[in-house]
Structures are given as structure tokens and as C-alpha cells.
Amino acid sequence: MFGFGKEPKKTAREQAREAKREIAHGQRDLEREKMTLERQEKQLVVDIKKAAKDGNQAGTKILAKQLVQIRAQKEKLMVMKVSLGGIGMQASAMAAQQTMVATMEKTTKTMVAANKQMDMSRIQKTLMEFEKQSELMSMGQEMIDDTLIDAFDDDEVEEDLVVDQVLAEIGLALHTQLADAPTQSLEAMLSQLPEAPKASPVLPSAALKQ
């Protein structure tokens, strides 16, 4: 009533293992029977030859019929053995299928439980927050890039001022002259620049001796 002493239900793999053991036991029995028939077959061949040699035609025919029956029985045993092997393979295949189905059932239950625990509204909120933060990060990066560009522009202005200062120090303040006399020709501006000192001519060695 309460199930005491009741054997637990065997799994598909255990059932397949038992079936294969039974099949192997049956195949061994068939193999022993086949070996017995082979011994009888050899003895009948000897008896048939002896009866034929003795001229016993009736005995020879009877023994020949027995030989035919034994050989037919051997063929049946071989067919039965092969059939048992096929049944064993089918049992293994069925056990594998049942194992696969059981695994799929467990996996499905796990997936259902996991989906029940998932809060879709929370997931949606998280995704929206992630998208928002990504946009803010992108905007911040753009601001940093703009600031760096402005800083480099200021550097270029400072570089131009330094160049103008250097040119003014060496007397080549072309930018200043262009600003003071925008209509002045280039030749006139160049004429106002200080002339470079002329180098003294090099006298030949003969003139130095004189």
C-alpha cells in the first residue's frame, strides 16, 4: 500500500544494458548449439562414407537426410544469432533516444524556470539606461575633441606670433611692412630692407707679393 519493497523504476540505459546481457546470453547458447550440430555433422559424414563403402544404400540415404536436416538447422541458428545482434543494436538506439528525450525535458524545465525568474521590465530599463549612458559618453568625447582642436588652433596663433617676432628681430618684418603700406610694391619693400655687407675681393697671391 505504501510502496515498501517496491523496486525503483529503471532508466532506459539500465533497461538497455539488461536487454543486451540477455541477448548476449542467448547468442552464446546458440553458438553452443551450433558447435554441437557441427560435431554431429562431421560424424554423419564419416558414417555416410562408411555406409556407402559397405554398400548399404538404405542406411546411406537415411544418414544423408539427417545431414541435410542438421545443415538446415545450422543455418537457422546463424540467422537467429544475427537477428539477436540486430535486436541488441535497436535496444541501444532506443535507450539513446530515451536518454536524449529525458535530457531535453530537464533542459526545457531549467529554461522555463530561468525565464520565470527574469524581470523583463528590469531588463528593458537596464537597456534604456545603457543606451542613455552610451550617448552621454559619446557627447563627452565630442566635447573633448572640440576642446583639443581649439587648443591646437591657439598653438598655431602663438606660433605665428613667435615667427613674426623672430622676423622683426632680424629686420625682415614683412608682415609689418605689408600692414603699414598695403599699396607699396614688392620692389619698394625690398629696397627698404638693410643691405647685406659686401665681401672684400680676394686678391691673387702675386699681387700680395708686390
The answer to whether residue 127 is domain-embedded is: no
Are 111 and 140 in the same domain?
Answer: no
The answer to whether residue 200 is domain-embedded is: no
The answer to whether residue 66 is domain-embedded is: yes
CA 131/CA 124 separation, integer angstroms: 11
| pLDDT band at residue 55 under the 50/70/90 scheme | confident
Asked whether the beta carbons of 171 and 193 are under 8 A apart, the reply is yes
Residue 186 clears pLDDT 90, i.e. is over it = no
* Residues spanned by the domain of 67: 12-118
- Return the pLDDT at 42: 92
The answer to whether residue 90 is domain-embedded is: yes
63, 91, 118 - which closes a domain? 118
- Return the pLDDT at 194: 54
- Return the pLDDT at 16: 75
The answer to whether residue 206 is domain-embedded is: no
- Return the pLDDT at 185: 54
The answer to whether residue 175 is domain-embedded is: yes
DSSP per-residue letters across 78-106 = HHHHHHHHHHHHHHHHHHHHHHHHHHHHH
Are 114 and 56 in the same domain?
Answer: yes
Are 97 and 141 in the same domain?
Answer: no
Are 16 and 104 in the same domain?
Answer: yes
Tell which residue, 15, 28, 11, 31, has the closest CA to residue 90.
15
Are 33 and 77 in the same domain?
Answer: yes
Are 84 and 179 in the same domain?
Answer: no
Domain total in the chain = 2
Predicted model pTM? 0.43
For residues 174 and 54, the model is more confident at 54
Are 149 and 100 in the same domain?
Answer: no
Are 103 and 173 in the same domain?
Answer: no
Are 20 and 87 in the same domain?
Answer: yes
C-alpha cell at 93: 538506439
Are 114 and 143 in the same domain?
Answer: no
For residues 144 and 73, the model is more confident at 73
Average pLDDT over residues 123-136: 84
The dihedral sign for the CA sequence 48, 50, 54, 59: negative
70, 91, 118 - which closes a domain? 118
